[in-house]
């Protein structure tokens, strides 16, 4: 069973700061997903990665397959970025193993 660990669990930062959220997993995967969940809302898929780096607007996701580690970065953070960010590892059986999430608060 894949173990997915996220850090930090909670993060409060000031508007404009550069944010990094980390995710590590224990066994080989076919893809890693970064998801965003707003309070009371559904889950939005931000990125799906199997190698390298992806960028979308102010969001950047990287993955190191050898080290079994991925990071999500937010540049020029804004209060609307406040949400729970979840990484999820997809293994060969096609099930997903989720991290517990990082609660991010960006203060104006």
Binding site for another protein (CB under 8 A): 29-31, 33, 35, 41-45, 48, 50, 86, 88, 90-101
Nearer Cβ to another protein, position 17 or 22? Answer: 22
Nearer Cβ to another protein, position 50 or 75? Answer: 50
Nearer Cβ to another protein, position 73 or 91? Answer: 91
**Neighbouring C-beta atoms of residue 7, cutoff 10 Å:** 14
Nearer Cβ to another protein, position 82 or 97? Answer: 97
Identify each DSSP E strand in 8-58 by its residue range: 10-14, 19-25, 31-37, 43-49, 52-56
Phi first, then psi: give them for residue 79, nearest 5 degrees.
-55, -30
Tokens of 80: 């609307």
Of 86, 102, 107, 76, the residue nearest 32 (C-alpha): 86
């Amino acid at each position: 069973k894949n173990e997915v660990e996220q850090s930090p669990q909670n993060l409060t930062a000031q508007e404009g700061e550069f944010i990094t959220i980390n995710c590590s997993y224990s066994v080989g995967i076919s893809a890693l997903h970064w998801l965003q969940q707003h309070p009371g809302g559904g889950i939005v898929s931000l990125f799906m990665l199997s190698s390298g780096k992806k960028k979308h607007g102010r969001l950047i996701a990287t993955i190191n397959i050898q080290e079994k580690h991925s990071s999500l970065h937010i540049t020029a953070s804004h209060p609307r970025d406040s949400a729970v960010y979840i990484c999820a590892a997809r293994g060969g059986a096609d099930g997903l193993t989720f991290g517990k999430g990082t609660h991010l608060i960006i203060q104006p």
